[in-house]
């Protein structure tokens, strides 16, 4: 987690440029990276034990490299589960390394207030206090049926998290023929369309660049939503022809948002590209001239080359500056 990145707004373009450089730097240690937000991610090191035998030593090495290269500090949490790694990264700041292995949960995490548990929002925390469940340890030992009675299926999730149990690691990029995706979890709910749209445009910009680097095209686009009450839903659109154009995809994503967002506050939003192909099959029409499309592809390729050479924020799609 990069707490110092919070210093960069309102210079949001620089903020996102530094974020991209940070994630790119982490890829030298493992390709299995799952982005949690624009300044936070999980790194799966389970297949790297022969290369990095001492993960605590490696964490300190990464921390120092990031500071020396980019000038900001990071907090790193180490564990065998994602929830514990996340909780460890949020412990004493800044510029720290913490472990939270399963045998440390009772001593390090259970004494903390339930308010500090990941994915326990303000309303849930208040309700837990009303039920006289004040610490993470008390939550961990509460009967699951009791929690589900008051919180629905989120009760089971909170109990699992309190015991250090979370989903298995999943990378944001599946194999070539499946999908690539990214999402962002917000510290506070967002219910303003313009803000959500700008986040989606930035996600499309990142994934579009990934597609072009792999010389792939997507034919199915989707937006994934998670509400403040942790209810998830999504909406997808299958295109007539595959594309990897950021500008073209952004227009479709905007339409999907218009058609599917329920105009309620969100805790997480993401974009998924699926039905990937390495062949750009164009739908030919006697009424359309493909010269404009070819010209757009050339412009996109030129933009990528300039940004790769001089920095990711040198040239941006105009929609990334939506207010």
Q: Which residues are catalytic?
A: 40
Q: Are strands 217-227 and 266-277 parallel, antiparallel or unpaired?
A: antiparallel
SS3 134: coil
Neighbours of 295 (CB within 10 A): 10
Neighbours of 265 (CB within 10 A): 13
Cα(279)–Cα(215) distance, rounded to whole angstroms? 9
CA distances from 305 to 202, 207, 241, 311, 323 (A): 18, 16, 25, 10, 27
SS3 95: coil
Neighbours of 2 (CB within 10 A): 23
| Sequence-ordered strand ranges (E) for the chain | 33-37, 40-43, 76-78, 97-99, 179-190, 217-227, 232-243, 266-277
Closest CA to 263 of 184, 161, 194: 194
Q: Residue 247's Cα: distance from chain center in Å? A: 21
- The token duo for 109 is 């995490």
- The token duo for 138 is 């008390």
Cα(86)–Cα(35) distance, rounded to whole angstroms? 12
């Amino acid at each position: 987690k990069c707490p110092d990145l919070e210093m960069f707004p309102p210079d949001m373009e620089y903020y996102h440029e530094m974020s991209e450089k940070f994630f790119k730097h982490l890829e030298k240690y493992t390709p299995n990276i799952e982005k949690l937000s624009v300044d936070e991610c999980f790194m799966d090191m389970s297949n790297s034990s022969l290369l990095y035998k001492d993960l605590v030593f490696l964490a300190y090495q990464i921390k120092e490299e990031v500071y020396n290269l980019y000038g900001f500090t990071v907090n790193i949490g180490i564990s065998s589960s994602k929830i514990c790694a996340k909780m460890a990264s949020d412990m004493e700041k800044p510029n720290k390394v913490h472990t939270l292995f399963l045998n440390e949960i009772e001593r390090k995490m259970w004494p903390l207030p339930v308010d500090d548990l990941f994915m326990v929002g303000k309303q849930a925390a208040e309700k837990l206090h009303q039920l006289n469940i004040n610490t993470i340890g008390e939550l961990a030992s509460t009967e699951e049926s009791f929690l589900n009675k008051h919180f629905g299926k989120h009760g089971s999730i909170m109990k699992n998290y309190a015991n250090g149990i979370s989903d298995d690691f999943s990378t944001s990029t599946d194999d070539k023929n499946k999908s690539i995706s990214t999402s962002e979890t917000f510290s506070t709910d967002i219910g303003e369309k313009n803000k959500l749209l700008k986040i989606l445009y930035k996600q499309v910009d990142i994934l579009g660049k990934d597609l072009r680097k792999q010389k792939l095209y997507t034919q199915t686009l989707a937006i994934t939503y998670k509400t403040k009450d942790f209810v998830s839903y999504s909406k997808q659109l299958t295109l007539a022809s595959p594309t990897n154009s950021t500008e073209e995809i952004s227009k479709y994503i905007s339409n999907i948002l218009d058609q599917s967002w329920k105009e309620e506050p969100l805790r997480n939003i993401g974009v998924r590209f699926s039905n990937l192909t390495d062949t750009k099959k164009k739908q030919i029409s006697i009424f359309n001239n493909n010269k404009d499309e070819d010209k757009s592809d050339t412009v996109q390729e030129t933009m990528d080359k300039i940004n790769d050479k001089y920095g990711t924020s040198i040239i941006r799609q105009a929609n990334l500056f939506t207010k």
